[in-house]
Amino acid sequence: KQEVTQIPAALSVPEGENLVLNCSFTDSAIYNLQWFRQDPGKGLTSLLLIQSSQREQTSGRLNASLDKSSGRSTLYIAASQPGDSATYLCAVDMDSNYQLIWGAGTKLIIKP
């Protein structure tokens, strides 16, 4: 059974720092992995999707990497800003049916 873990559960860093959020999964036979952002009281916004054949995806200040063999993905945020404060969740898709298996998220606070 696939399990997705995100550590730490919460992270607070000063504005301007580069930071890395971690996601690990137990079964490496994934179809794709997605990173989402959730603002308080809001739904989720897809940030990056990495197919199983890819190693990384980039969007602006965000870079997501995928290492299937070790069961890990990282989300790198460059030059963090207070507006980046949110909860970041990763989710894996095992069989292309988009029945995602989710981590519990990392709550990120960027201090001005």
Partner 1 sequence: EAGVAQSPRYKIIEKRQSVAFWCNPISGHATLYWYQQILGQGPKLLIQFQNNGVVDDSQLPKDRFSAERLKGVDSTLKIQPAKLEDSAVYLCASSLGGFTGELFFGEGSRLTVL
Least distance from C-beta 68 to partner 1, angstroms?
A: 16
Number of residues that bind partner 1 (CB under 8 A): 23
Cα maximum dimension of the chain? 41
87 in Cβ contact with 42 (< 8 Å): no
Q: Read off the tokens for 18.
A: 């580069």
11 lines the binding site for partner 1 (CB under 8 A): no
105 binds partner 1 (CB under 8 A): yes
Q: Say whether residue 89 binds partner 1 (CB under 8 A).
A: yes
The yes or no reply on residue 32 touching partner 1 (CB under 8 A) is: yes
Residue 57, interface with partner 1 (CB under 8 A)? no
Task: Report the residue number, 42 or 111, with the smaller CB distance to partner 1.
Answer: 42
CA nearest neighbour of 76 among 62, 89, 55: 62
Is 44 an interacting residue with respect to partner 1 (CB under 8 A)?
A: yes
Please state, in angstroms and as integers, the Cα–Cα distance from residue 94 to each residue in 20, 29, 51, 55, following that order.
24, 7, 11, 17
**Residue among 79 and 109 whose Cβ is closer to partner 1:** 109
Residues that bind partner 1 (CB under 8 A): 4, 32, 34, 41-46, 49, 51, 89, 91, 93, 96-100, 102-105
